Amino acid sequence: MSPTQRTLKKLRDDGYVAEVVEKWIPGANIRRDLFGFIDVLAIKPGEILGVQCTSRGHVRNRCNKIAEAELVGNVREANIKIEVWGWDKKDNRWRVKIVDCS
């Protein structure tokens, strides 16, 4: 299961409606994140959450990517919460490190 799939499952278990919003660009063979940094968009009453999904070892890189993104100010002004979720396995159990980048 990929970090994105784990994130979707946890968000849905936590009561969010969540969808993958990154796109595959054929020919270029790359993925393009919504607004340059959101992989999953999740909603529940009173909250919109954009999540960048990754492995735990890449959390800092993703936070830096968000900080440098051209549209991060627009997303923040729209009151969309921004988080990076980094997944790893410890003692044979999956865990997530969540960093708020709002």
- DSSP one-letter string for 27-50: TTTEEE-BTTTBSEEEEETTEEEE
pLDDT at 19 over 90: yes
* Whole-number Å distance between alpha carbons of 34 and 81: 14
pLDDT digits (tens, 9 = 90+) for 40-98: 999 999 999 999 999 999 999 999 999 999 999 999 999 999 999 999 999 999 999 99
- Residue 24: what pLDDT? 86
Mean pLDDT of 25-49: 93
pLDDT at 26: 87
Choosing among 3.30.160, 1.10.3720, 3.40.1350, 2.60.120, the CATH entry for 3-100 is 3.40.1350
Please report the pLDDT score of residue 47 as a whole number: 96
Whether the predicted pLDDT of 9 surpasses 90:
yes
Residue 93 Ramachandran class (φ > 0 left, ψ -120 to 50 alpha, else beta): beta
